[in-house]
Amino acid sequence: MEGFKHYDVVIIGSGPAGSLCGIECRKKGMSVLCIEKEEFPRFHIGESLTGNAGQIIRDLGLADEMNAAGFPDKPGVNVIGSLSNNEFFIPILAPTWQVRRSDFDSMIKRRAVEHGVEYQIGLVKDVIQDQGKVVGAIYKANDIEHQVRSKVLVDASGQSTFLSRKGIAGKRQIEFFSQQIASFAHYQGVERDLPPFSTNTTILYSKQYHWSWIIPISADTDSLGIVIPKDLYYQECKNPDEAIAWGMEHISPELKRRFKNAERITEPQSMADFSYRIEPFVGDGWLCIGDAHRFLDPIFSYGVSFAMKEGMQAATAIEQAINSQDWQTPFYAYRDWSNGGQQIAADLIRYFWIYPIFFGYQMQNPDLRDEVIRLLGGCCFDCEGWKAPTIFRNAIAEYDRKQMAG
């Protein structure tokens, strides 16, 4: 094993969470190394960006590059249920995009490099501890093991949840939305709505946890996802291909109509048990951001937005911890901030699945409409004093009480 270098911050993973954390840490004058196991570009699901994510991208000065890359504008989200009164439209208040993640993640990574984030292709194997404090990582690159020391180690490894697997962070715990399997692929020739709504996200659902997404990711390519309960998947389908075929037949006639003349251009993939949380996700010399500690449900496309927001907020906590040498107060504040926003999003998603028709009515309620639209746009961490989160939380609590009472 070779000798080691020292950095203020070492980040595991260079997706949107890791790259944004690195950018913000560099802005604050910290030295940053990001260790990424894969060369970019690489495939990733999560192709629709919220309005909040769009604002972050504009703040990075990337709007022109996003447009030049051919990423479609995202006017809004059209939600279509199984009945005629189950349809509603969610406008996007801040301009944003649909993206091909391989290209988008590469773009964000390049911006991080421009800010001075150092990158290393390698596989992180273990953490280094000193009297219970995490002080670095061991990674393998070109068949050689290396040590790198850090003041703070950030897990941005996504659903690999590296620090959880190593027993540093807590164990993965299932969330309400965990017993589902998502199957997805890319298609060409999908029938779209007429402009200016041709690049909307479309969500089609038949009943609770039986739904699909259609996301236009370029001028001629759409991402299709079919999400069904795990027991149904294993009972009716043997693989992602069959799950997509099942969804075409059973989720919505509208889905079958739109894909009547479409051609699949990628092999279908699937993802099971995608909803989880990890506690604790901060500790002495380390913290987790984005999917490395929690993922809710893809239905409202919170993943990239939350990853970037947490990366930025974590950088503030890291700066405070390094300057004060207090490894608890700033990290616990980040933890509480993250848990608060994530819980508001979880409540919103549960409320939708429990009361889908009434959720659509709330979109027309003049007292709540703006709040609901902004929450769906990713503003779940900045909504203190809003009415909608309390209404959703109370309705869910009442529903749970009735369920327990039988």
CATH of residue 247's domain is 3.30.9.100
Say if residue 293 is in the same domain as residue 371. Answer: no
Say if residue 243 is in the same domain as residue 189. Answer: yes
Distances from the Cα of 270 to the Cαs of 230, 249, 274, 354, in angstroms? 11, 18, 10, 25
What does the alpha-carbon distance between residue 103 and residue 70 come to, in Å, rounded to a whole number? 10
Say if residue 169 is in the same domain as residue 296. Answer: yes
Say if residue 88 is in the same domain as residue 212. Answer: yes
Torsion angle, alpha carbons of 345, 351, 354, 355, to 10: -140
Domain assignment of residue 369, yes or no: yes
Question: Residue 209, by phi and psi: left (phi above 0), alpha (psi -120 to 50) or beta?
Answer: left
Domain assignment of residue 348, yes or no: no
Say if residue 244 is in the same domain as residue 322. Answer: no
Say if residue 11 is in the same domain as residue 138. Answer: yes
Domain assignment of residue 335, yes or no: yes
Residue 34 per-residue DSSP state: E
Phi first, then psi, for residue 281 (nearest 5°) are -125, 15
> Whose structure tokens read 């199984």?
82
Cα atoms found within 13 Å of the Cα of residue 182, Cβ hemisphere only? 20
Domain assignment of residue 261, yes or no: yes
The domain boundary, picked from 291, 306, 341, lies at 341
> Whose structure tokens read 């779209």?
192
Say if residue 186 is in the same domain as residue 255. Answer: yes
Say if residue 266 is in the same domain as residue 187. Answer: yes
Say if residue 287 is in the same domain as residue 166. Answer: yes
Q: With beta carbons less than 8 A apart as the criterion, state whether 221 and 188 touch.
A: yes
Q: With beta carbons less than 8 A apart as the criterion, state whether 212 and 262 touch.
A: no
What does the alpha-carbon distance between residue 228 and residue 113 come to, in Å, rounded to a whole number? 39
Say if residue 91 is in the same domain as residue 133. Answer: no
Ranges of residues in the chain with a pLDDT under 70 are 1-3, 84-85, 178
Q: What is the pLDDT of residue 1?
A: 47
What does the alpha-carbon distance between residue 221 and residue 265 come to, in Å, rounded to a whole number? 9
pLDDT tens per residue, range 274-328: 789 999 999 999 999 999 999 998 899 999 999 999 999 999 999 999 999 999 9
Say if residue 135 is in the same domain as residue 193. Answer: no
Torsion angle, alpha carbons of 18, 23, 27, 31, to 10: 60
Say if residue 109 is in the same domain as residue 229. Answer: no
Longest dimension (CA), the chain: 66
The domain in which residue 362 lies consists of 354-405
Domain assignment of residue 364, yes or no: yes
Domain count, the chain: 3
Domain assignment of residue 54, yes or no: no
Domain assignment of residue 55, yes or no: no
Q: Kindly write down the DSSP assignment for every residue of 100-143, as one continuous string.
A: -HHHHHHHHHHHHHHTT-EEEE-EEEEEEEETTEEEEEEEEETT
CATH of residue 22's domain is 3.50.50.60
The domain boundary, picked from 293, 311, 341, lies at 341
The domain boundary, picked from 316, 341, 366, lies at 341
